[in-house]
């Protein structure tokens, strides 16, 4: 039997890590992630969780200690945001390339300058090519569910890859919502003990991270790419089992009032719930519009995207990360690339906004729908169009 408790997003992910009985947490504080690691240290110091809490001197060392711990056979968890995320960046590649199932929550936050603490996806989007599996949570229940299932997916012998859960800084991390928590026995039945087949072992000495020349590097990277892409069936299988056990089913892309819709709005993360209200309003007015909530960002869910946009004429993608000097926003750009040559009849518009925690109202999502439709009808748009931002 599950119980329903009020939890802010930070505590939801921490609670999932506690119930997963993590062995090692290595972390460094940064706003708006700090509640997560404070809660983890409380669990350890109160004796509610038997784990090593490693209070490192930087995020670079946080991810490095996670690397060592995961490779030694420990279930490993950490959390960060923004500048801390950037400081651990080079280590992210190694943890993925070393096939270590570290789970990390990211309280998404803008990147400076200007110095800031509020949410957008500038940090998340910088990790798109690191080889990590990545999901965006839209509410605190999803933060709990995605964190718990992340351990199971990441540690699956068919996967063995690190997993990050993106959760909006402040608007989810610091907002209290009702969250269903399962019983410990239910979690234990879902999550088997972690066992890495190549954990550091003197009886089976291996080399990890050997130098490779041009003669083999390309083949290894190609194999890694094929592997990362190939995890989608496992992710879906485990989310299905999660749904069967806990009653909540997840898909790489969620469709809301999307059936038969002429226009589909696509939003990732917490703002998708505001967008839902905008879609409700427009549906009430008889407009043919639906919502796609993007959950799975890596691996990119190509087939799910094609299925989700079936029958639609316009796709309006909303993005929360500036790509200075580049082609529009990262999600917009990737959606266009994924659809090119597959659905040339589908018109795609992209609008950016909500940088650095800037609030976006229901009426502004209505504006996104209207402007998106107009762009699609017109067949052209400025490279970068924003909503709710002056200038």
Partner 1 sequence: MEGEYIKFGKNQVSTEEYLSSGHRACQGCGLAINIRLALKVLGKDTLCMTPASCWSGVGSAYPDAAWEVPWMQTLFENVSAVAGGVSAAFDILEEKGKRGHRKINSVCFAGDGATADIGLGALSGTLERGHDIVYICMDNEAYMNTGIQRSSSTPHGASTSTTPVGPAFAGQQTQKKDVPAIVAAHNIPYVATACVSYPFDYMMKVRKAAEVKGPAYLHVYSVCPTGWRSAPNLSVEIGKMAVETGIFPLWECEDGVYKLNVNPAKLKPVDEYVKLQGRFRHFNAHDIAEMQQTVDKNWAALKRKVEASQVSA
Q: In angstroms, give the least distance from the CB of 124 to partner 1.
A: 22
Q: In angstroms, give the least distance from the CB of 204 to partner 1.
A: 8
CA–CA gap between residue 168 and residue 120 (Å, rounded): 7
Q: How far apart are the first and last CA of the chain?
A: 53
With respect to partner 1, which residue has the nearer C-beta, 26 or 317? 26
**φ/ψ (deg, to 5) at 328:** 45, -145
**Can you name the residues that pair with 25 across neighbouring β-strands?**
53, 77
With respect to partner 1, which residue has the nearer C-beta, 131 or 270? 131
Q: In angstroms, give the least distance from the CB of 70 to partner 1.
A: 8
With respect to partner 1, which residue has the nearer C-beta, 214 or 233? 214
* 261 alpha-carbon distance from chain centroid: 26
Strand pairing class (3-8; 176-181): antiparallel
Cα–Cα nearest to 70, from 49, 91, 84, 41: 91
**φ/ψ (deg, to 5) at 43:** -55, -45
CA–CA gap between residue 95 and residue 115 (Å, rounded): 28
With respect to partner 1, which residue has the nearer C-beta, 67 or 300? 67
Q: In angstroms, give the least distance from the CB of 299 to partner 1.
A: 25
Tokens encoding 136: 């965006």
CA–CA gap between residue 111 and residue 364 (Å, rounded): 24
With respect to partner 1, which residue has the nearer C-beta, 23 or 385? 23
Q: Which helix (H) or strand (E) holds 277?
A: helix 271-284
**Contact positions vs partner 1 (CB under 8 A):** 23-24, 26, 50-52, 54-58, 60-61, 64-74, 76, 90-91, 94, 193, 200-202, 204-213, 216
Q: In angstroms, give the least distance from the CB of 192 to partner 1.
A: 13
Cα–Cα nearest to 138, from 306, 251, 288: 251
With respect to partner 1, which residue has the nearer C-beta, 67 or 256? 67
Q: In angstroms, give the least distance from the CB of 54 to partner 1.
A: 5
């Amino acid at each position: 039997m599950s119980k329903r408790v009020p939890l802010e997003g930070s505590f939801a992910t921490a609670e999932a890590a506690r119930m997963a009985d993590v062995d090692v947490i290595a972390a460094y504080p940064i706003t708006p992630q700090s509640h997560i690691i404070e809660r983890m240290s409380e669990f350890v110091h109160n004796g509610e969780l038997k784990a090593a809490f490693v209070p490192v001197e930087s995020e670079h060392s946080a991810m490095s200690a996670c690397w060592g711990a995961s490779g030694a056979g420990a279930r490993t968890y950490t959390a960060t945001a923004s500048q801390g995320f950037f400081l651990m960046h080079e280590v992210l590649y190694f943890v993925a390339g070393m096939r270590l199932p570290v789970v990390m929550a990211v309280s998404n936050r803008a990147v400076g300058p200007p110095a800031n603490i509020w949410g957008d996806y500038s940090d998340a989007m910088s990790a798109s090519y690191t080889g990590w599996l990545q999901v965006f949570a839209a509410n605190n229940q999803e933060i709990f569910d995605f964190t718990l299932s992340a351990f199971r997916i990441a540690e699956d012998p068919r996967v063995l890859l690190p997993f990050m859960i993106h959760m909006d800084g402040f608007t989810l991390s610091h907002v209290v919502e009702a969250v269903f928590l399962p019983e410990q026995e239910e979690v234990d039945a879902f999550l088997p003990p972690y066992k890495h087949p190549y954990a550091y072992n003197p009886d089976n000495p291996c080399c990890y991270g050997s130098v490779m020349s041009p003669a083999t590097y390309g083949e290894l990277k190609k194999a890694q790419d094929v592997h990362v892409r190939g995890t989608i069936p496992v992710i879906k299988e485990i989310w299905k089992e999660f749904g069967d056990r806990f009653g909540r089913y997840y898909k790489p892309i969620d469709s809301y009032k999307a059936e038969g819709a002429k226009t589909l709005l696509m939003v990732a993360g917490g703002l998708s719930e505001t967008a839902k209200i905008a879609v409700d309003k427009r549906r009430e007015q008889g407009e043919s519009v639906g919502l796609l909530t993007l959950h799975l960002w890596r691996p990119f869910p190509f087939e799910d995207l094609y299925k989700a946009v079936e029958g639609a004429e316009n796709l309006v993608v909303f993005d929360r990360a500036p790509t200075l000097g580049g082609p529009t926003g990262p999600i917009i750009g990737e959606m266009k690339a994924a659809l090119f040559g597959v659905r040339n009849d589908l018109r795609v518009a992209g609008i950016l906004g909500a940088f650095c925690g800037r609030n976006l109202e229901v009426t502004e999502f209505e504006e996104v729908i209207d402007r998106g439709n107009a762009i699609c009808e017109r067949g052209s748009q400025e490279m970068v169009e924003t909503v709710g931002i002056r200038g």
